[in-house]
Amino acid sequence: MAGEIILKVGEGRWVEFTLTRGGTALLPATIAAADFQFGVKNDEDDTTFLLFKDSGEFDKTYSGEGKIQVNVSSADTLTIGTGTYVAELGSTLISGEDVDYSPTIPFILQKGVIKP
């Protein structure tokens, strides 16, 4: 897992996560069958997401090393604006049986020098 995700307002990029179980990277077949969610909120207790990505928005083809990616677009960062937020990655390997959530990840959007 990432320690923190830092982008500038107006910046977009793929955010990468490495998935492990017991210190070993998950196999591509396990990742391909899994469902993922990525959410960003102002605060953990908020009920509304500022940014939410569901499983169909993840690139699982990069999973040869237990890795997945999700795109945070420039439009996403423009919509949210500067600030420090909280994010979390959810993974469901087996529905109802094997559901995991990452530790809370600081999601930081900074002002840029070049304005979008």
Q: Which residue ranges make up each domain of the chain?
A: 5-110
H helical segments located in the chain = 28-33, 74-80
pLDDT band for 29, please (50, 70, 90 cuts): confident
Residue 41 has pLDDT above 60, yes or no: yes
Look at domain 5-110 and name its CATH class. mainly beta
The per-residue DSSP string of 58-81 comes to EE-TTGGGSEEEEEE-HHHHHHH-
Beta strands in 1-116 (DSSP E): 5-8, 13-18, 20-21, 24-25, 35-41, 51-53, 58-59, 67-72, 83-94, 98-101, 105-110
65-91 residue pLDDT tens: 899 999 999 999 999 999 999 999 999
Q: Against a cut of 0.85, is the pTM above it? A: yes
| % of the chain at pLDDT higher than 90 | 69
